Amino acid sequence: MCYVKLFLPLRSKIRSQVRTKLTYTLEEPLKFKQQLLQWSRQFEEIAWLDSNNYHQEHGEFDALLALGVFTAIKTDYHQAFAKLQEYQQTTKDWIFGYLSYDLKNDVEALSSKNQDGLNFPDLYFFQPQKLFLLKGDLLEMHYLKMLDDEIEDDFTEISNLPLTDNPQLTTHNPQPIRARISKEDYLKKVEKMLAYIQRGDIYEANFCQEFFAENREIEPFEVFQKLNEISGPPFATFLKLEEHYLLSASPERYLKKSGSKLISQPIKGTARRSPNAEEDLEIAQQLSKDPKEQSENVMIVDLVRNDLSKIAKKGSVNVDELCKVYSFKQVHQMISTVSAEIDDGIPPVEALRATFPMGSMTGAPKISAMKIIEELEETKRGLYSGAVGYFTPNGDFDFNVVIRSILYNSEKKYVSFSVGGAITAGSDPEKEYEECLLKASAMRKALS
């Protein structure tokens, strides 16, 4: 199934569109960012990507906002990357959207047959009518030519919008969050995964579990604001596409293309934060020296290097940073940075296809790990452990990893979040379960 939607009359096919660009210098950038997000709620389609002004060497923008659909592509996994490549190369415009984990079935001869309460399309991208780019005190507004008479009026309206306090979260039919599998079953499944490792079928796999609520209505915008306030990550996302919502507090970059340079920053290794500064520093130092966490990270770095080598210039794949600990509001994370130069003639979408799904959410060897994941997990991952991001008109892109995220189908009133961790020969099932609960804490709190 492939669905290409044309919201305004076009000739024979989708084509690149002229945009009018205006630049403003903001007196209060943080206040304007809040006003902009509040103003965006009136639109049916929203993609909000927020770095939370987190200092990151490879960041291009403090925030991006795409509003309103001009054209869109929505498809299942069959030939999904080929369809996306055609769409991206035809529009030659900014496009925003997501790749679900189940596009693995397009890349390899795999399948997804587990429980799916969310029913998100496997791939969805849209060409926005209105686009806002924020960096420091500068704002760029890129509107389709047919809408450019609205730019100045919109800027004035946003600037004068009174900020409202976040309302107290209310839920209708507040059904409790439940685990898809019990702790006892989780421990048994990890033991089975360890048996696969001991047998030599895999040496690492990311095993995930779902927490969910049925017949529960939430206010997605308020839940996202609460989640973002709790976590403050560099790859936060609020995505609204029809009845499907993503409320993400992701700390992880999947893949970025800037000119010919590719950057991937896999995360493996998690530890709690402490309110006591001395203890917190000690926890971070312990994480940086933990042999199990280092082993997990290095295994995935090797996998990422191998994936990138498929589309990189010979000899250009490099590990810029190995097992460095970064601190976020909720947790410490061990992050590595791998770079490469994309080979001549490789289309942007091919760089994604060749490296998808990201190694940090699969394991190694990748295909064997994905088969075992499908066998032992009980929920179709869908957008969880997929990627959200954007393409620029010249074919650059930046995508996060969809983790630490709440997914919501407003039509079905189904709320879901999943968490997981890397299982290796050194894993202790009880400790892996505790790590899952640590990762789940921010989503639970945001929904409480």
Residues annotated as part of the active site: 252, 268
Q: What is the 3-state secondary structure (H, E, C) of the chain?
A: CEEEEECCCCCCCCCCCCEEEEEEECCCHHHHHHHHHHHHHHCCCEEEEECCCCCCCCCCCCEEEEEEEEEEEEECCCCHHHHHHHHHHHHCCCEEEEECHHHHHHHCCCCCCCECCCCCCCEEEEEEEEEEEEECCEEEEEEEHHHHHHHHHHHHHHHCCCCCCCCCCCCECCCCCEECCCHHHHHHHHHHHHHHHHHCCCCEEEEEEEEEECCCECCHHHHHHHHHHHHCCCEEEEEEECCEEEEEEECCEEEEEECCEEEEECEEEEEECCCCHHHHHHHHHHHHHCHHHHHHHHHHHHHHHHHHHCCECCCCCEEEEEEEEEECCCEEEEEEEEEEEECCCCCHHHHHHHHCCCHHHCEECHHHHHHHHHHHCCECCCCCCCEEEEECCCCCEEEECCCCEEEEECCCCEEEEEEEEEECCCCCHHHHHHHHHHHHHHHHHHHC
Return d(Cα 43, Cα 132) in angstroms, integer: 14
Return d(Cα 9, Cα 311) in angstroms, integer: 37
Q: Do the beta carbons of residue 233 and residue 404 sit within 8 Å?
A: yes
Residue type, 67: L
Return d(Cα 371, Cα 113) in angstroms, integer: 11
Return d(Cα 232, Cα 228) in angstroms, integer: 5
Q: Is 75 exposed, middle or buried (0-12, 13-18, 19+ CB in 10 A)?
A: buried
Quick one: which of 131, 184, 259 has its CA closest to 433?
A: 184
Residue 289's CB: how many other CB atoms inside 10 A? 10
Residue with tokens 């295994």, as numbered in its chain: 299
